[in-house]
Structure 1
Amino acid sequence: MSADADTSSPEPELRHGSGLCAGCRHAGKLLPAGRCCPGDACIRAHSGRQIDRFLRNNRDEAGDYLQDLFWERRAIAARYAPLDRIGALMHDSDEVVRRVVAERLPVEQLGGMARDPDREVRLFVAARLPPTALTPLMHDPDYLIRVTLARRLPHGQLARLVKDPEREVRKAVARRLPPFALYTLAKDPETEIRAIVASRALPSLAATLLQDPEWWVRLAAVHTAPPESLPPLLQDPEAEVREAARRRLDTIDHPISPSIAKDGS
């Protein structure tokens, strides 16, 4: 951009009512009152910072710019306009405008944006909708949306994501499933997921995971498996697994009395 086209700093002729101020409906009222300033807070500028400053100072004007031809002016206006005016922008042609709407729109109106083509819009929807209303996003093509769902869905609906093709989604599910339901992920192809399962599993499931081929799944299972299943791990090929099993068995065989633990002696 050339210096002549730069609108980021005030120019003398703009300060005196010419240039951008010529013909502006705000020049007669807001400019003399100091509520706008060319080059700093100006609705007619092609600078997001100047437009934002203008509308922040003059929020009652925001509704008049929701249909403006310039996408950035519409997006900033949607940030300051009354909530009952921005619903009409749910299907705006520009995704930035729709993101602002998805962030501000009352939750009860968000369902209509669950199929928006823009991922960021759908992320806002997934993060804001009540957990019981997230079903329309269950098969979203973007894994980040499904990860958000896995973190927010009611426990009773998490099983629907157990077979998700994306590892990060299944990891989120493994962290939230009730322990009695973790068997559904006990044979997951991803070691990290099986380790999460092992660390949270009920004793009976943890005992089966002591046989896992990956040592760090076995290590996680040591802490949740029943004590009687641990002696074979004293011969485990991995030193960390052997040591973890030995420490847990020692604690069980020689429990620290409450008085000793309290005194530290």
Structure 2
Amino acid sequence: MMDEIDEARDWQGNEIDCAACAHQDMLSAGLCRLKHACVHDRYARRIDRFFNWNPGLSNSYIAHPHFEVRAISAKHASPFVLQPLLDDPEETVRWNAARRLPKRLILRLRHDPHREVRIRIVSLLDDAELIPMMADPDYYVRLVIARRVAAPLLARMIDDPEVEVRRIVAQRLPRDWLLQMVDDADAAVRLEIAQRLSPDLLARLRHDPDWRVRYEVARQIAVEDIAELADDADAFVQDMARSRRLNSQGRSMEHPR
């Protein structure tokens, strides 16, 4: 079956000539095929198929001038020849090499100039090795780390400058530490905190400037602490507080002491 693209050109746009190829003998053996599995083709799918069929040739192509060839050969080549690719100018090549190398060699990619490499490298490292990346200049790198590391380490990210990162921290931080975030500058973060705080600690948020936070407080706080919220400036907060207070009074009348 041929690929949908009915052409065979190399990465420089030249038409591929099998007669001039160093792998000409492989053609008759079915180990390569024009427009389907060819290391010289400019289409990555065909290059990938070539190395899937001939992984033993990968070592010979890690220095090829076309980055797609280098990147795909790095997936099959011996790990012993991959370290130089960590300095490749193309981020795809660096990542494909990094994922197959020991961690001691790839730690420096925590400072890779390309965000995609740094984002992906997070999945290969242990929590302690990710601590230096908690101050990464790219918010999405920090977001991935906040989702990945063990919850106790998130205390280091409580003051992250990005709201979305702090929201993840608020969702995962151990409950005993949530009070450290009740004064967060963003209401969305404080709402996450209000949803997780135990009822006896919610009084700290009764006067929050955002009605959504106060509503959550009114929904969960102990009834004996709800009186002030029954007169809240927001009607939704009032209704929640008054409804809970009435329900509590009704239960008390049904079951007098």
Per the shorter chain, which TM-score range?
0.7 to 0.9
- Residues 70-89 of structure 1: pairs in structure 2 closer than 5 A: 70-89=66-85
State the 1:104 CA deviation: 3.9
1:199–1:220 Cα contact (<8 Å) kept:
yes
| 1:1-60 alpha-carbon deviations (Å, 9 max, x no partner) | xxxxxx94257xxxxxx95213322211x2112121112211112222221111122122
2:152–2:174 Cα contact (<8 Å) kept:
no
Determine the structure 2 residue equivalent to 1:14.
none
For 2:206, the aligned partner's letter is L
State the 1:241 CA deviation: 1.9
- Please give the alpha-carbon distance, in whole angstroms, between the structure 1 residues aligned to 2:144 and 2:7: 44
1:155–1:178 Cα contact (<8 Å) kept:
yes
User: Could you list the runs of 5+ residues in structure 2 that have no partner in the other structure?
Assistant: 9-14, 252-257
For 1:113, the aligned partner's letter is L
- Residues 1-265 of structure 1: pairs in structure 2 closer than 5 A: 8-9=5-6, 19-28=16-25, 30-107=26-103, 109-249=105-245, 252-253=248-249
- Please give the alpha-carbon distance, in whole angstroms, between the structure 2 residues aligned to 1:246 and 1:191: 24
Cα gap change, 1:221 to 1:102, in 2 (>3 Å): farther
- Please give the alpha-carbon distance, in whole angstroms, between the structure 2 residues aligned to 1:38 and 1:140: 45
Q: Across the two proteins, how many residue pairs are aligned to each other? A: 242
State the 1:225 CA deviation: 2.2
Between 67-76 and 232-241, report the one with greater CA deviation: 232-241
| 1:168-187 alpha-carbon deviations (Å, 9 max, x no partner) | 11111111111221122111
1:233–1:242 Cα contact (<8 Å) kept:
yes
- Please give the alpha-carbon distance, in whole angstroms, between the structure 2 residues aligned to 1:241 and 1:103: 51
- Please give the alpha-carbon distance, in whole angstroms, between the structure 1 residues aligned to 2:123 and 2:175: 25
Between 135-144 and 203-212, report the one with greater CA deviation: 203-212
Percent sequence identity over aligned pairs = 36
Determine the structure 1 residue equivalent to 2:12.
none
Q: Secondary structure at the match of 1:31?
A: helix
Determine the structure 1 residue equivalent to 2:255.
none
Q: CA RMSD in A?
A: 2.4
1:187–1:194 Cα contact (<8 Å) kept:
yes
For 2:90, the aligned partner's letter is D
- Please give the alpha-carbon distance, in whole angstroms, between the structure 2 residues aligned to 1:251 and 1:178: 32
State the 1:105 CA deviation: 3.5
Q: Secondary structure at the match of 2:209?
A: coil
Q: Secondary structure at the match of 1:171?
A: helix
State the 1:73 CA deviation: 0.6
- Please give the alpha-carbon distance, in whole angstroms, between the structure 1 residues aligned to 2:101 and 2:23: 29
- Please give the alpha-carbon distance, in whole angstroms, between the structure 1 residues aligned to 2:98 and 2:38: 26
Please report the TM-score for the alignment, with normalisation by the length of structure 1: 0.82
- Please give the alpha-carbon distance, in whole angstroms, between the structure 2 residues aligned to 1:76 and 1:86: 12
- Please give the alpha-carbon distance, in whole angstroms, between the structure 1 residues aligned to 2:79 and 2:215: 53
- Please give the alpha-carbon distance, in whole angstroms, between the structure 2 residues aligned to 1:83 and 1:244: 62
Cα gap change, 1:185 to 1:86, in 2 (>3 Å): same
User: Could you list the runs of 5+ residues in structure 1 that have no partner in the other structure?
Assistant: 1-6, 12-17, 256-265
